[in-house]
Amino acid sequence: MIDPKQPSSQQTSSTMSDEHPLDRGLKLTEVADGLYQGEASPSYWNQVGPFGGMTAAMMLNVILRDPGRTGDPVALTVNYAAPMAMASYRLATRLVRASRTTQHWSVELLQDNVTLATASAVLAIRRKSWGRNEIAPPEALPGADVTASMDRGRGMPWFRQYDLRPIRTLGSTTDTQVHTHAWIRDEPPRPLDFPALAAVCDTMLPWMFRRRKQMIPVSTVSLSVYFHVGSAELASVGDEHVYTRSYGQVCHAGFMDSNAQVWSRQGLLLATTQQMMWIKE
C-alpha cells in the first residue's frame, strides 16, 4: 500500500499514472525540424475535438518548448478551422521573425496533412516599466476554499479536468451586461504555466446560455489571449485557484463574442481574453 502523504520512489519517475493529464495531453515528439507529433487527449475532449482551451494550450506549448524560443508570450491568437479526430496530430511551427527581445511565431495543427487550426504568438523578454491596472481587482469575495465546487461528473470530459467554483453572477438577466465570476484550477492541482493559463481562458460559460436560459450549440472560431505577466510572476501563482470574470458585448448575425479577465488570488491580472463564437441559432 502506498501512503499518498509519503513521497514514494515512483513519484520521481514519469509514469502514465502520476503524470498530470495536461502534461500527458501536451506531450510531443519531434518528427523533423519544426514539426512535432502528439496524441489527442481523451481527458480534454469536447464534442468534435479537444475543448478550445486545450487546443490553444497545445499550440502555445509547442512554441514555448522550442529550443529557439526567447521570452514569454505576450499575445496568442488561435483560429479554429475544423474538427479534430481522436488520433495523433502534428504541429508545424515557424519562427517568422525575431529581434533581440521579441519573437513572432506561427503554428499549424494538422491531421493527415489537413490544417485544423492556426495560431500566431508574439513573445517578448519582459522588463520593468511603468505600470497600472485600469480595472480593479475583484472585490473581496468568498475564497475558493469556501465556495462549492461544481459537479464535475456531468458534461464533457474536459470539464472534469477543472475544479470550477462559480462565485456569483452579477446583474440580473434584464440588466444590460451580465458578469460571471468563478474560481478555477486544474484538477488535479498543477502549477499554472502559460499553456494552462491559455486553456483557462476558454473555460468560461458563454453568457448567452444565461440570457436564453438554455444551452445552444456554440463553437469558438477565433480566440485571442493577452498575457500580462512574465514567467516568474506566473510561477508565483503555483497551483492555487485563479479568479475569472467573464462578460459579453454582442451576439449578432450568427456570431457572439466573449470576454474575460483572469486574476491571481493576490490580485495580479494574469491574462485578458476575447473570442468569437459561431452560434447554431
Nearer to a copy of itself, 87 or 136 (CB): 136
CB of 223 to a copy of itself, least distance (A): 9
CB of 58 to a copy of itself, least distance (A): 17
Whole-number Cα distances in Å, 13 to 17, 18, 19, 104, 232: 10, 8, 9, 35, 26
Nearer to a copy of itself, 205 or 221 (CB): 221
Q: What b/e string do you get for 90-129 counting C-beta neighbours within 10 Å, with b at 16 or more?
A: bbbbebeeeeeeebebbbbbbbeeeebbbbbbbbbebeee
Nearer to a copy of itself, 8 or 177 (CB): 177
- Contact footprint for a copy of itself (CB under 8 A): 74-75, 77, 79, 81-82, 96-97, 99, 102, 104, 106, 108, 114-116, 118, 120, 122, 124, 126-136, 176-178, 207-208, 211-212, 216, 221-222, 224, 226, 228-230, 233, 247-255, 257, 261, 269, 272, 274, 276, 278-279, 281
Nearer to a copy of itself, 137 or 166 (CB): 137
Nearer to a copy of itself, 104 or 265 (CB): 104
**DSSP-assigned beta bridge partners for residue 143:** none
CB of 112 to a copy of itself, least distance (A): 13
CB of 254 to a copy of itself, least distance (A): 5
Collect contacts of 5-9 with beta carbons under 8 A, ≥24 apart.
Answer: none
CB of 13 to a copy of itself, least distance (A): 37
CB of 136 to a copy of itself, least distance (A): 5
Nearer to a copy of itself, 98 or 150 (CB): 98
Collect contacts of 258-265 with beta carbons under 8 A, ≥24 apart.
Answer: 258/204, 258/206, 258/207, 260/201, 260/204, 261/135, 262/197, 262/200, 262/201, 263/137, 263/138, 264/236, 264/237, 264/240, 265/143, 265/144, 265/237, 265/240, 265/241
Which grid coordinates belong to 116?
485544423
CB of 152 to a copy of itself, least distance (A): 28
Nearest 5°: phi and psi at 106?
-130, 150
- Residue (of 261, 257, 268, 258) closest to 245 by Cα position: 261
Nearer to a copy of itself, 22 or 63 (CB): 63
